[in-house]
Amino acid sequence: MTPSGTHNAKSYFQEKYTEISSYKLATRRPYYLKDHSDESSRRCRFCLKGEPEVGFTHRAHVVPELLGNKSLLSLNECDRCNQFFADNYENHLGNWSKFARAVSGVPGKRGTPTYKNDKLRIESDATGLQITIHDPSILPPSGEVKFPMEFKLPGDAQSAPYIPLNAALALIKIACAVCPQSELDQCGNAISWLMGRITCDVSKLNVGYAFTPGVKPYGVGHVTLLKRKVEEPIPYLLCIVQFGNHRFQSFVPLCPADGWMVTGQPNGLGPHYPVPFPDDWGPGPTEYKFLDWSGTAPVRTSDEVSFMLTSGKVVDPSQK
């Protein structure tokens, strides 16, 4: 996105949307979202059931823990639905994002994921990003290794198998979970789709994705829900999830307020939501793309990746 494009995007969202909920993903104390005023009226907002028919003993994360969410929790999600979402949707989002989370050092439920293939291993620890090369032929001769240096990943960084539509539904679930009660009726059809109560044939379902270079520029991460404030053919509810170096932009499909569309107009999302960084951001410009996540068959996707290594050392394992 060019500087003029960034300015136009800011104007677009200021004119057409208002923020209705916004939360950090890591705070000193847990923050709980809840719909009920007392325990006797507690219901899961997804299956609509309460105790004793369902239980509420698990920590239900509004945003999956694999995206770095440590403190934003929901009291509106029963144990059964929590497990259903993890198995059917969040695992697919996790498989798509494993490499991204590894290079960004995003801590999940079992720590920061490790990415590896037959040539290298990428992981993060307290000292930062660690790249272990198993094939020395992909590096320049040891005498020529100087920092800073650009290192291009050999071959493509390939994801684990995932179903694109299921990964998209993980993002839709986040939007429905973070939606305030005052707008929850607008999420009813999307929730029914998530739960399998209705079916929806999708020919295209775009998800906005942005990558900003640097050391975790988004910090602890954030989730924001936007509501349309103009009568125009654009999505009524937009959800922005940012973590590490990454940002997702998705919309809630099938809102009653979106009577003129089913799964979105042209690209379904409008322009990319602007990032909170200056145009001359030191580590480099943000890269934007739209991902069509309408597919229902397992796939692997890959990207060419380059790193700017500011410091490091080459160690010969045989000398250890």
Q: What is the pLDDT of residue 191?
A: 98
The structure tokens listed for 208 are 């906005």
CA dist., res. 272 & res. 269, Å (int):
8
Instruction: Give the sign of the dihedral formed by CA 177, CA 181, CA 186, CA 189.
Output: positive
- For residue 317, name the pLDDT band (cuts at 50, 70, 90): low
Check residue 140 and give its pLDDT.
Answer: 65
Whole-number Cα distances in Å, 220 to 68, 104, 179, 246: 7, 12, 21, 11
Residue 3 has a pLDDT of 45
Q: How much is the pLDDT for 203?
A: 86
Evaluate if residue 308 carries a pLDDT over 80.
no
Rounded CA separation 9/37 (Å): 39
Reading the block at residue 12, the tokens are 């677009």
pLDDT in tens, 55-110: 999 999 999 999 999 999 999 999 999 999 999 999 999 999 988 888 777 876 76
Here the tokens at position 196 are: 């399998």
Q: How confident is the model at residue 43 (pLDDT cuts 50, 70, 90)?
A: very high
What is the CA 279 to chain-centroid distance, rounded? 23
Cβ pair 31, 23 in contact under 8 A: yes
pLDDT at 314 exceeding the cut of 70 = no
Question: In this model, does residue 116 exceed pLDDT 70?
Answer: yes
User: Which of the four pLDDT bands, split at 50, 70 and 90, describes residue 153?
Assistant: low
Beta bridge partners of 22: 224
Strands 72-74 and 31-33: parallel
Residues 133-148 pLDDT 10s: 777 676 666 556 677 7
3 state SS of 251: strand
Q: Residue 38 is encoded by which pair of tokens?
A: 């007392």
Residue 297, sorted as left (phi over 0), alpha (psi -120 to 50) or beta, turns out to be beta
Q: Tokens 């890959």 — which residue?
A: 302
pLDDT at 98: 86
Is residue 230 a contact partner of residue 28, using CB atoms and an 8 Å limit? no
Structural tokens at position 240: 């922005």
| Amino acid 282: pLDDT | 86
- pLDDT tens track for 172-215: 999 999 999 999 999 999 999 999 999 988 888 999 999 998 88
pLDDT of residue 172: 98
With cut-offs at 50, 70 and 90, classify the pLDDT of residue 290.
very high
Rounded to whole angstroms, how far apart are CA atoms 268 and 254?
A: 12
Query: Could you tell me which of 229, 47, 86 has the C-alpha nearest to residue 166?
Result: 86
CA distance 178 to 233: 23
pLDDT tens digit sequence for 204-262:
899 999 999 888 899 889 999 999 999 988 999 999 999 989 999 999 999 999 975 54
Residue with tokens 């973590």: 243
What is the pTM assigned to this prediction?
0.88
CB atoms within 10 A of CB 215: 13
- pLDDT tops 90 at residue 128: no
Token code pair at residue 182? 């005052």
